[in-house]
């Protein structure tokens, strides 16, 4: 199949880096072409026609021209700018986190319609000011699922025995839950309460509408966050930079 | 680096490589600059070398506002004619130039040296935020103008600073965000337009 010289796509902008004096390299996720990098010429000048249409965390319709190395964005029109998300420091930070997550996990040109829709849905949820913990955790679970890193949480990942309705253990190295016996022999595990296990099991197997109805208290939210943070750090072999920022932002906030 | 320098002699290759490290200069431009200097008179080359050495030896950051300066405190901070009750917070020292060119602002500045950008690993402690707070605590400042760029990182930084400064009871303002002069309504995005509408003024 020959690719046309000019093409159009929907896109969600996930990263921007400066290039030269006034240009930017944009990284964005598209429904049919996956993750793409392209140049937005003159985008740092105030009169840029692309302007805010290619701001981070914006859903836009882009027109692109094939370039020698990177393609060039010739036109852009906002579909949804998720403005409410951008007016709050916490939701901006959550949005930056999911952008970094997608950028870190997804190779270029690896397309997945489901992930595109999940990204849109997640930005919309954050925009509406809904429970960010639930939104982010469900996003992580689904993303890992799409990528083939679905954690094994039905039986013990090591001995295959049925998990008892007690506190079990999560091992990033095993990519799933260990029973108390097996966890005893594994140096790095994290305790996983029965409630956390139930929520993870539900999220793994339900649609987003159901997932978002789950109410989790602060303690459970923090437990799930830590389990997923460990697992993601293990898979990427590094901690995401925005994770540190999210932790800092949370700790600096007075309760209430 | 993908340019082939092997054909050039060692000192030439070295200069090309140094130019190539600079922002916005690719291998082709680096070669052009190097050969230009080779053919230029001795004084031209030496003047350039001196100028570079000079900025590294004699230019530093103002200990008050972190502007780039050859005297400490900088000329702006020392100027008694300026309004010392106002501080305009900018991302980079270079942002001071366009603001000064307007001749409309006579207060002081504070240079953050960056913006909060979680995915680049830049958080507030990497910026001159603590230094800003101590200025606000000790000096008789009544207004802080947040002049970070009107993009996501700039906005996030402004929101964060607002959170830090509010308890001090200092008036906080943000540069108006709206349509660029000489711009075209047709190409304006919704965020710019809605903010321009919010900030509309009676004529
Ligand atoms: Zn077991
Ligand atoms: Zn100064």
Q: For the stretch B118-157, what's the b/e string if a residue is b when 16 or more beta carbons lie within 10 angstroms of its beta carbon?
A: bbbebbbeebbbebbeebbeeeebeebbbbbbbbbbbbbb
Residues B127 and B80 in one domain: yes
Same domain as B102, residue B187: yes
Compute the distance between CA of residue A69 and CA of residue B135 in angstroms, rounded to an integer: 48
Q: Is the pLDDT of residue B1 over 50?
A: no
Could you give the number of structural domains in chain A?
2
Q: How much is the average pLDDT of B65-92?
A: 94
Do both B72 and B117 map to the same domain?
A: yes
Among residues 195-254 of chain A, which lie with CB inside 8 Å of chain B?
A: 240-242, 244-246, 248
Question: Is residue B42 located within the same domain as residue B73?
Answer: no
B88 plus B29 within the same structural domain: no
Q: Looking at the partner chain, which of B118, B183, B191 has a beta carbon nearest the beta carbon of A96?
A: B118
Q: Nearest CB to B24: which of A21, A78, A97?
A: A21
B194 pLDDT exceeds 90? no
- Domain count along chain B: 2
- Best of B2, B191, B198 to mutate (most A CBs within 10 Å, chain A): B191
Q: Where residue A62 sits, what CATH number does that domain have?
A: 2.40.50.140
Report chain A residues whose CB lies below 8 A from the CB of B116. 245
Residue A107 counted as domain residue:
yes
Stated pTM of the model = 0.84
Shared-domain flag, residues B99 and B156: yes
Q: Taking every pair of C-alpha atoms in chain B, what is the biggest distance, in angstroms?
A: 67
**Residue B63 placed within a domain:** no
Residues of B in contact with A93 (CB under 8 A): 118, 156
Q: Are B119 and A46 inside 8 Å of each other by CB?
A: no
A63 and A93 part of one domain: no
Which of B58, B76, B94 lies at the terminal end of a domain, its last residue? Answer: B58
Q: Which of A28, A56, A81 is the last residue of a domain?
A: A81
A256 domain residue, yes or no:
no
Closest approach of B11 to chain A, Cα-based (Å):
26
Residue from the list B118, B152, B163 with its beta carbon closest to the beta carbon of A245: B118
Rounded to 5 degrees, what are φ and ψ at A72? -115, 130
Pairwise CB contact (< 8 Å): B119 & A78: no
Q: Could you tell me where the DSSP H helices lie in chain A?
A: 89-105, 113-127, 132-147, 180-183, 194-205, 208-211, 218-236, 241-251
What was the pLDDT predicted at B189? 82
Question: In angstroms, what is the span from residue A136 Cα to ligand 1's centroid?
Answer: 29
Are residues A47 and A170 located together in one domain of the fold? no
Let me know whether B122 and B33 are in one domain: no
Q: Name, in order, each residue with C-beta under 8 angstroms of A8's C-beta and a sequence gap of 6 or more.
A: A61, A62, A63, A64
Q: Are residues A77 and A188 located together in one domain of the fold? A: no
Q: Name the packing angle between helices A89-105 and A113-127 (round to 10°).
A: 170
Looking up residue B34, the CATH number of its domain turns out to be 1.10.8.420
CA R_g for chain A: 20
Predicted local distance difference test score (pLDDT) of residue B2: 46
Report the percent of chain B where pLDDT is more than 70: 95
Range of the domain at B19: 10-58
Give the span between the Cα atoms of A140 and A104, in whole angstroms. Answer: 13
A98 and A50 share a domain? no
Cα–Cα distance for residue pair B172/B163, rounded to 1 Å: 10
SS3 call for A148: coil
Judge whether B148 lies within some domain. Answer: yes
Q: In this predicted structure, what is the pLDDT of residue A51?
A: 85
Q: Is A49 on the interface with B (CB under 8 A)?
A: yes
Q: A25 forms bridges with which residues in the sheet?
A: A17, A39
Domain range for A55? 6-81
Say whether B118 and A86 touch across the interface (CB within 8 A): no
Question: Do B118 and B191 lie in a common domain?
Answer: yes
- Pair (A30, A100) in one structural domain: no
**A104-142 pLDDT tens trace:** 999 887 789 999 999 999 999 999 999 999 999 999 999
Is there a single domain that holds both residue A142 and residue A110?
A: yes
Is it true that the peptide bond before B111 is cis, omega within 30 degrees of 0?
Answer: no
| Chain B neighbors of A103, CB-CB under 8 A | 119
| Cα–Cα nearest to A135, from A121, A116, A155, A151 | A121
ipTM passes above 0.90? no
Could you tell me if residue B137 is inside a domain?
Answer: yes
Residues of B in contact with A86 (CB under 8 A): 152, 155, 191
pLDDT of A256 = 32
pLDDT, averaged across chain A:
92
What confidence score (pLDDT) does residue B27 get?
84
Between A and B, how many residue pairs show a Cβ–Cβ distance under 8 A? 79
Residues B87 and B142 both lie in one domain: yes
Is A1 inside any structural domain?
A: no
The answer to the question of residue B4 being in a domain is: no
Residues of A in contact with B155 (CB under 8 A): 86-87, 92
* CATH code of the domain covering residue A192: 1.20.1440.120
What pLDDT, on a 0 to 100 scale, did the predictor assign at position B7? 58
């Amino acid at each position: 199949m020959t690719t046309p010289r000019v093409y159009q796509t929907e896109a969600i902008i996930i990263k921007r880096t400066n290039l030269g004096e006034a240009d930017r390299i944009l990284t964005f996720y598209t429904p049919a072409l996956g993750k793409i990098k392209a140049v937005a010429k003159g985008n740092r000048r105030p009169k840029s026609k692309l302007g805010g249409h290619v701001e981070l965390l914006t859903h836009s319709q882009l027109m692109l021209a094939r370039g020698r190395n990177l393609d060039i964005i010739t036109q852009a029109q906002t579909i949804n700018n998720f403005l409410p998300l951008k007016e709050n420091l916490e939701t901006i930070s959550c949005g930056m986190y999911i952008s970094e997550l997608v950028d870190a996990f997804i190779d270029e040109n690896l397309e997945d319609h489901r992930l595109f829709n999940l990204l849109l849905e997640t930005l919309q949820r954050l925009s509406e000011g809904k429970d960010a913990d639930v939104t982010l955790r469900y996003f992580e679970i689904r993303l890992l699922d799409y990528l083939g890193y679905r954690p094994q949480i039905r039986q013990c990942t090591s001995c295959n025995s049925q998990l008892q309705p007690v506190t079990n253990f999560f091992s990033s190295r095993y990519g799933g839950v260990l029973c108390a016996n097996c966890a005893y022999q594994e140096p790095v595990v994290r305790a996983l309460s029965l409630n956390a296990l139930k929520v993870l099991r539900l999220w793994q197997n339900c649609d987003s509408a159901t997932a978002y109805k789950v109410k989790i208290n602060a303690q459970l939210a923090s437990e799930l966050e830590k389990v997923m943070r460990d697992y993601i750090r293990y898979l990427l072999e590094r901690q995401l930079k925005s994770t540190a920022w999210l932790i800092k932002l949370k700790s600096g906030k007075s309760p209430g | 680096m993908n340019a082939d320098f092997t054909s050039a002699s060692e000192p030439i290759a070295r200069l090309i490589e140094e130019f190539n490290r600079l922002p916005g200069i690719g291998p082709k431009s680096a070669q052009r600059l190097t050969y230009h200097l080779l053919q230029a008179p001795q004084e031209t080359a030496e003047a350039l070398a001196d100028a570079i050495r000079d900025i590294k030896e004699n230019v530093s950051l103002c200990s008050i506002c972190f502007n780039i300066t050859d005297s400490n405190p900088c000329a702006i901070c020392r100027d008694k004619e300026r309004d010392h009750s106002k501080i305009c917070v900018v991302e980079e020292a270079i942002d001071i130039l366009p603001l000064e060119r307007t001749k409309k602002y006579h207060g002081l500045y504070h240079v953050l040296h960056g913006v909060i950008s979680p995915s680049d690993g830049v958080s507030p402690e990497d910026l001159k935020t603590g230094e800003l707070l101590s200025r606000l605590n000790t000096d008789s400042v009544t207004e802080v103008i947040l002049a970070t760029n009107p993009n996501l990182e700039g906005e996030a930084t402004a929101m964060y600073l607002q959170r830090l400064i509010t308890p001090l009871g200092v008036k906080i303002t943000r540069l108006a965000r709206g349509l660029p002069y000489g711009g075209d309504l047709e190409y304006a995005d919704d965020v710019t337009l809605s903010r321009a509408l919010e900030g509309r003024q009676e004529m």
